[in-house]
């Protein structure tokens, strides 16, 4: 069965105190209003992970990091390893977010190595892909997403792929208030599922969770989540307010 997920990507927002308050508030709401089939995930700044994981009911809410090192451990000042993230109680790590790709020069090869390291350490990976505006205007969006997935992700085994969630985030929709239309989202999600099928076969493709991200909010989530190949969302700005995030979770 394909899992439905609503993941909040807090990015570099909230102090530790604000973050634990947000986690607590989301937790209190969801304990009263069971999210049912939907798995809510809070991808907090790494320094908040242990505290937020401790404060939420892990039977209802999972937590995740927003990045990890491709290295296991050692003299890499400032880096955070997959095993540290795992030991803080997290379940997930986001890899390949467009902000990591563009501001921190993370390329497909590096992301492949990060994916392998994360999976080895028993983290589930939310692997992001998506085109910039110019690439869509030039009709290159399918080609770009194909390259990102084939080079950055698809060399892992079938068994490893079972612990991967794909997030399609058109870069032009991130933080802009411009959401992909239903047609654009469904078309790309269907294309991505087709790529997974080519590589891993029909059963795995049907079971793969593909999230949409990019200006998804409490007002448009129900329309996006009703699309046949959209299995939830990766939410930025709207995940920073408990009411909005809980409303998005309730949109299925
Ligand atoms: P916004 O929801 O703020 O557009 O951000 C989306 C995103 O980048 C989630 O990873």
Question: pLDDT digits over 48-101, tens only?
Answer: 999 999 999 999 999 999 999 999 999 999 999 999 999 999 999 999 999 999
Ligand 1 cavity residues, CB under 6 Å:
9, 97, 169, 174-175, 213-216, 234-238
CA of 75 to the centre of ligand 1 (A): 32
**Cα–Cα distance for residue pair 86/191, rounded to 1 Å:** 32
Burial of 33 (0-12, 13-18, 19+ CB in 10 A): exposed
In the prediction, which pLDDT does 252 show? Answer: 87
Give the ligand 1 atom nearest the CA of 99. Answer: 8
Instruction: Look at the domain 4-66+79-249 and name its fold.
Output: TIM Barrel (3.20.20)
Mutate to test the pocket of ligand 1, among 126, 215, 218 (most ligand atoms within 8 A of CB): 215
The rounded distance, in Å, linking the Cα atoms of 187 and 181 is 10
- Residues with active-site annotation: 97, 169
Per-residue pLDDT tens listing for the chain (252 residues): 899 999 999 999 999 999 999 999 999 999 999 889 999 999 999 999 999 999 999 999 999 999 999 999 999 999 999 999 999 999 999 999 999 999 999 999 999 999 999 999 999 999 999 999 999 999 999 999 999 999 999 999 999 999 999 999 999 999 999 999 999 999 999 999 999 999 999 999 999 999 999 999 999 999 999 999 999 999 999 999 999 999 999 998
Nearest 10 degrees: Cα torsion 239, 240, 242, 248: -20
For residue 214, the CA-to-ligand 1 centroid distance in Å is: 5
Look-up: residue for tokens 């969770």? 209
Predicted TM-score (pTM) above 0.75: yes
Q: How far is the CA of 239 from the centre of ligand 1 (A)?
A: 9
148 Cβ contact list (under 8 Å, min separation 6): 96, 108, 129, 130
Q: What's the pLDDT score for residue 120?
A: 98
Question: So what's the pLDDT on residue 58?
Answer: 96
Of 14, 15, 27, 82, the residue nearest 54 (C-alpha): 27
């Amino acid at each position: 069965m394909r899992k439905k997920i609503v993941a909040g990507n807090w990015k570099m927002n909230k102090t530790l105190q604000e973050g634990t308050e947000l986690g607590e508030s989301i937790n209190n709401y969801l304990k009263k209003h069971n999210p049912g089939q939907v798995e809510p995930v809070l991808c907090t700044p790494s320094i908040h992970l242990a505290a937020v994981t401790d404060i939420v009911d892990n039977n209802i809410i999972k937590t995740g990091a927003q990045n990890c090192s491709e290295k296991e451990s050692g003299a890499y000042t400032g880096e955070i390893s997959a095993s540290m993230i795992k030991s803080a109680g997290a379940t997930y790590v986001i890899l390949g977010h467009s902000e990591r790709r563009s501001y921190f020069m993370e390329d497909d090869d590096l992301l492949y190595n990060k994916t392998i390291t994360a999976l080895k350490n028993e983290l589930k990976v939310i692997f992001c892909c998506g085109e910039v505006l110019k690439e869509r205007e030039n009709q290159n969006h399918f080609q770009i997403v194909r390259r990102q997935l084939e080079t950055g992700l698809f060399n892992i085994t079938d068994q490893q792929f079972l612990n991967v969630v794909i997030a399609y985030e058109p870069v032009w929709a991130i933080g802009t208030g411009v959401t992909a239309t239903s047609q654009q989202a469904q078309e790309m999600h269907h294309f991505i599922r087709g790529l997974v099928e080519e590589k891993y076969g029909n059963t795995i493709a049907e079971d793969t969770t593909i999230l949409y991200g990019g200006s998804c909010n409490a007002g448009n989530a129900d329309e996006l989540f009703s699309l046949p190949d959209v299995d939830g969302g990766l939410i930025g700005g709207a995940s920073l307010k408990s009411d909005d995030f809980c409303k998005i979770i309730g949109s299925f």
